Amino acid sequence: MALVEIMRLWNEGVAAADKEDWSGALKCFTTITEPRAKISFNIGCCHLVMGNLQDAEKAFTSTVEKDKHLAVGFFQRGSVFFKEGKYKEALQDWLRCFTELRGNQLIDYKILGLTFKLYSCEILYNVALGHTKVGNWAKAEENLILALSQKVEPRHGTKIEKAMQENLKQKDFPLIVMPKGRLFYPNERLVEQLEKKDYLGKATVVASVVDKDSFSGFAPLQPQSDNPPSRSKTPEVLRTLQGQPHRVLFEFTPETIEEMEVLPGNIVFVLKKGDDNWATVLFNGKKGIVPCNYLEPVELKFQSQIQAAEPKPDEVSPNGGTTKPEIPAPPTTSAPNLPWSQQDKQATSNSKEKSSSSEKAVTPPSYLVKVYYKYTVAIQVSRKLSYGDLLILISSKLKTTPCAIKLSFRDGETDVPLTTDNVERAWELSTDNCLKLKCTDVHAEEPLVRMENAENPVRSEEKADMSVTALFDYEASQPEDLPFKKGDVIKVMNKVSEEWWEGECHDKFGIFPSAFVNRKSSM
């Protein structure tokens, strides 16, 4: 179906929904062939308002299949599952919805055409309600406490506190649902283009070839003659160029921003000559300074003057040949020497150019030094540094003194303190030009022990291996995610935050939501 037809039906559907004509809105939406995720979402909302729970479930399932990251789609399908009595399916959808928030407290769908804000505290509220329906009152209390910590508006706190009181009595509390009539609206600019516009308008008479026509305001068009009389040509007016023309005798390479690069033969226009042997010139629309002794005055002749000065074919020279314009001889003098300061600058610039060209010819490999401290620091160096240089560089990056930190590297399974004698060994163990070092405070009571996690190292009391069991299936939506199935045993490597952990499962590493696993199981 063409995009114009889709936008027309979409616009008519939301217009019918605004009038609460849900049957008419549903008819417009279902007429669209191969509807996208937003249209499927609108179809599900219409069925939900009309009480068709099974049709609403199918529509929301089509929505999340077409857009696996549309959190509001999982939220709506979870509400349908809950109303159908499918509490486990509703709980899984709300957990997936919470995952798609990616740690944010809310998602505002207004920019996508849906006037609705999806709050994380409301999702956790429904997750707690799902736990009560399966008899897990302790889990419900945990999610309500977490929801209370993520409240955004005052109404959230009141509703969550009432739910906590009902949960202590092991009683149900009301479900949070999306307000009635919230749909995805089409783009306003695309809707405006559906209206036909008359760019030409109605024809009007502006002139007539009929003599004594009733139209007034313009003279009638007159028939054109075959041989119109010739008109006198307006003499050409030449614009005077600004400045005095000069020819450049020698090549000049600028060394400052004010100086201008010119080549022999260039014609520049001198605006001003100073007492310091520098002239302000205009060349190619740009203004700059050039040494005065690099320039010589020249007289410019326009094309009309050149043609007037050329001899006619019957004009001959005294010796019998035709006269030809004289071609000026090239300059015979050599380039004047620059002042001593300018010579020094030029020698310095030449040496810099030679050094830069040699550096380009042989570019030393760049190395990356990763330092695992209370936070991770990455430093790029152009060569292998010595122990002293590394210590000074890292301490300055961490804003501390070299004597306040200790560096070590991993040699096999052991951590070896970095010293002057074994710094070469540390560089040999680097992979992909990346040297990994662990940094500890000299006066710290408990050192940091993990080097694998670059974002959030764990302390010694958390070093003990911990394994958890997956409560639900989790599909990776980002490259850094860790996928697993229900019942898989996951080895926890680190706690990135309260909601996201890092772990290993089936020889894969990544992060996963802590709400998807049993936190109490450990080994």
Q: Are 28 and 22 in contact (CB under 8 A)?
A: no
Nearest Cα to Cα of residue 153 among 125, 182, 121: 121
pLDDT at 7 over 50: yes
Do 126 and 91 touch, CB atoms closer than 8 A? Answer: no
Give the pTM: 0.41
Say how far apart CA 82 and CA 134 lie, in whole Å.
12
Distance (Å) of CA 399 to CA 186, 321, 372, 377, 510: 53, 87, 15, 12, 31
How would residue 339 be classed by pLDDT, with cut points 50, 70 and 90? Answer: very low
pLDDT for residue 244: 86
Q: What is the mean pLDDT of residues 501-522?
A: 81
Q: Rounded to whole angstroms, what are the CA distances from 226 to 223, 229, 233, 366, 441? A: 10, 10, 20, 80, 101
Q: Regarding predicted confidence, which is higher, 520 or 29?
A: 29
Report how far residue 232's alpha carbon sits from residue 240's, in angstroms, rounded to the nearest whole number: 24
Give the Å distances, CA to CA, from 202 to 40, 215, 465: 44, 17, 82
C-alpha to C-alpha distance for 132 and 518, rounded to whole angstroms: 17
Tallying the residues shown for the chain, one arrives at 523
| pLDDT at residue 273 in the model | 87
At residue 77, does pLDDT exceed 90? yes
Rounded Cα distance, 456 and 376, in Å: 8
The whole-angstrom separation of Cα 189 and Cα 142 is: 46
SS3 content of the chain, % helix, strand, coil (to 5): 35, 20, 45
Higher pLDDT, 322 or 486: 486
What's the CA gap between 269 and 184, in Å, rounded? 65
Q: Looking at per-residue confidence, does 98 or 198 come out higher? A: 98
Return d(Cα 382, Cα 247) in angstroms, integer.
47
Cα 55 to the center of its chain, rounded Å: 39
Mean pLDDT over residues 37-42, rounded?
91
Q: Which two tokens stand for residue 456?
A: 């959030």
Domains in the chain, please, with CATH? Answer: 3-188 (1.25.40.10), 244-298 (2.30.30.40), 367-441 (3.10.20.90), 464-518 (2.30.30.40)
pLDDT for res 445: 42
- Among 19-23, 44-48, 399-403, which stretch is predicted with the lowest mean pLDDT? 399-403
Q: Residue 59: which residues within 8 A CB-CB, separation 6 or more?
A: 40, 41, 43, 44, 47
pLDDT of res. 121: 93
- Asked whether the beta carbons of 243 and 219 are under 8 A apart, the reply is no
Over residues 344-356, the mean pLDDT reads: 49
> End-to-end alpha-carbon separation of the chain, Å?
57
Over residues 406-445, the pLDDT tens digits come to 888 888 878 888 888 888 888 888 887 788 888 887 765 4
pLDDT digits (tens, 9 = 90+) for 105-158: 899 998 888 999 999 999 999 999 999 988 888 898 999 999 888 888 888 888
User: Considering the chain, what percentage of its residues have pLDDT values greater than 70?
Assistant: 72
330 compared with 397, residue with greater pLDDT: 397
pLDDT confidence tier of residue 347, bands split at 50, 70 and 90: very low
- Structure-token match 């979409």, residue found: 10
Percent of the chain with pLDDT over 90: 18
State the pLDDT at residue 167: 86
pLDDT of residue 459: 41
Q: What is the pLDDT of residue 80?
A: 92
Strand partners, 262: 252
Nearest Cα to 406, choosing from 416, 429, 397, 370? 416
The better pLDDT of the pair 75, 338 is held by 75
Amino acid at 100: E
pLDDT reading at 234 higher than 50: no
How high is the pLDDT of residue 55? 92
- List, for residues 180-211, the tens digit of each pLDDT value: 888 999 888 777 777 666 666 666 656 555 55
pLDDT for the residue 45: 92
Say whether pLDDT at 74 is over 90: yes
